[in-house]
Every structure is written in structure tokens, then in C-alpha cells.
Amino acid sequence: MTVPFDVASPRHGHDEEHDMSNFEPPAPPPPPGGHGAPPPPPAGGYGGPPPGGPDNWDVGAAVNYGWTKFQANVGQMILAALAIFAGAVLIYGIAFFAIIIPAGDSDYSCSFNDAGEYACSGDNGGLGILSLIVLALLYVVFFIYAQVIGAGLIREGLGVTEGRSFTTAGVFKFENIGNVIVTSLLVGVGTFIGTILCVLPGIIFGFLTMFSLFFVVDKNLAPVDAIKASIELVRNNIGSTIIWYLVAYVIALVGAVLCGVGLLVAIPVILVGTCYTYKKLSGQPVAP
């Protein structure tokens, strides 16, 4: 009987040895406990929503957060309000002593005449021009004062959302005041121009730029970049920002109705709630 092939032939043994030499073991399995490295975060601007999307923000949570943090920092917040009021009174007091009292010592007077018209007569001793100069200077001082206070309140409000306590001294810091002033001027000019163009464009621009100073204070952005970042953030979260805008307005209105004293509560709640909203919508963590 003829055998088709010899299983013990040298050739077959050689082939088998050759095949084994070309054999490659399979790749080892991935280590347990994960699914590989996470993908890199997507590139983008400052207005992207948090990982869970805008659903992480809730208007009730924002109001409750503002109220809770107001209770925890009530002493410093009220002290800051009194200090801010005292600063404003001081500026107006300077205006009073610089303009009103000297005007009373001059021969210049204003009153209603027999015809019922309000008329002025006499010599004001040059107080007209002097008054304009002093008023202009005081306006500049008051504007700078308002920007320092506004940025300081935002800074301290953001600090509360990061787990720090609210401090009165922090409200009066001159940190990054140049960018703060320029940003406020740009937003003010844009809102004014928009208001001239049928009012509505001014309202829309003011709404879209509501977080501009937050980006200046929090991210140290340049004025134009801060305005762009605010517009992007609001556009990406238009529903949430409209809701908070309206709720904050109602809170302020209720505070004003309560003889104005309610504003001592309403303004801090709105401040911290707005900082909470900014942090959540921009994807940043918020301290409990």
C-alpha cells in the first residue's frame, strides 16, 4: 500500500519547525479597572457648558444658594453695604461743600418771578464754570468708585462660590481696575448706541454682556475678549440666563417695595446667585 506522505519525514518536521518560528503570541489584554485613557477635552472658548450640560443649573438652586450664603456672611455683607453707602455720601458731601456752600455766599440767586417763571440774577463770582469743572471731576471720581465697588462685589461673590468668606475689605480693592473701567465703558457705549437705535438693541446688548466683568475679574480677560466671552456664554445658555435675569429682577423689586430695607437682603442674594449662575454655566465647580 502506498502511503501519501511520511509523517516522520524530515521535510515535514522542518516545515512544522518553520511554522512555529513564525508564530506570534496575541497582544496582552488591557489592564482591568477602566476603558482606556479618556479623550482629551474639546477645544473651545470660555462659554462652553459644563460636562453635564446646562441642566446642571437650576433657578431654585441659584436662589437657595444665594440665600444660604447671605445667611452665612450676613455681617460682612451688611457692613459692606454700609461702607459703600458711606463712600457715596462722602462724594456727595464733597460736592455740597465745593459747590452749594460757595454759591450761597455769592450774589447769584434763582427764584420764581411774578410771571411764574424760574429766573436767576446777580453775580455768581465765576461759580458757573467752577461748578462745571468740579461736577465733571466728581462724576469721574464717582464713576471710578462705582467700578471699584462693582468689581469688588463680583470678586467677593465669586470667592463665596469658591468656598471663601465674604469680606468688606475685598470689595474696595483696586485689582485689575484698568480693564474693569474700559470694559464698563465699552458696554455702556454699546448699550447707549443700541438704546438710541429703537431701545430694543440696547436691551439685547446689555443682556448679552451681563457677564463681561465676571470674565475680567475671574479670568483676567482683556475688555474685548471679556465681552465676546459673555456674549458666547449667554447665547449658549439663553434660556437659563433669561430665567435668572427675570427672577433677579423680581427679587430686587420685592426688596425695593419693602421700604428699600429689603434691598440689604435682595442685593446680596442676587449677587451670589449670579456668581453661582456664572460658575455653573461656564462649567466651573461651585463650593457647597
Average pLDDT, the chain: 81
Q: Which segments within the chain are labelled E, that is strand?
A: 109-112, 118-121
Q: What is the DSSP string of 122-135?
A: S--TTHHHHHHHHH
- Given this model, what pLDDT does residue 123 score? 54
**Does the pLDDT value for residue 90 go beyond 60?**
yes
Percent residues over pLDDT 70 in the chain: 70
Residue 118 to residues 107, 135, 139, 271, Cα–Cα distance (Å) = 17, 22, 26, 44
Q: Report the percentage of the chain scoring pLDDT > 90.
A: 61
Question: What Rg, from alpha-carbon coordinates, does the chain have?
Answer: 34
Give the range among 105-109, 148-152, 211-215 with minimum mean pLDDT.
105-109
Looking at residue 126, its pLDDT comes to 53
Cβ proximity of 276 and 236 under 8 Å = no
Query: Is pLDDT above 80 for 3?
Result: no
Residue 248's pLDDT is 97
Q: Is the whole-model pTM more than 0.85?
A: no
Q: For position 108, what pLDDT does the model report?
A: 53
Q: Rounded distance, CA 260 to CA 266, Å?
A: 10
3-class secondary structure, 81: helix
Which pLDDT does position 260 carry in this prediction?
A: 78
Of 27-31, 112-116, 192-196, least confident by mean pLDDT is: 27-31
Q: What is the pLDDT of residues 244-266, one digit of tens each?
A: 999 999 999 999 998 778 999 99
For the residues 112-129, what does the mean pLDDT come to?
61
Separation of alpha carbons 195 and 193, rounded Å: 5
Q: Assign residue 222 a region: left if phi > 0, alpha if psi is -120 to 50, beta otherwise?
A: beta
Q: Is the pLDDT of residue 38 over 70?
A: no
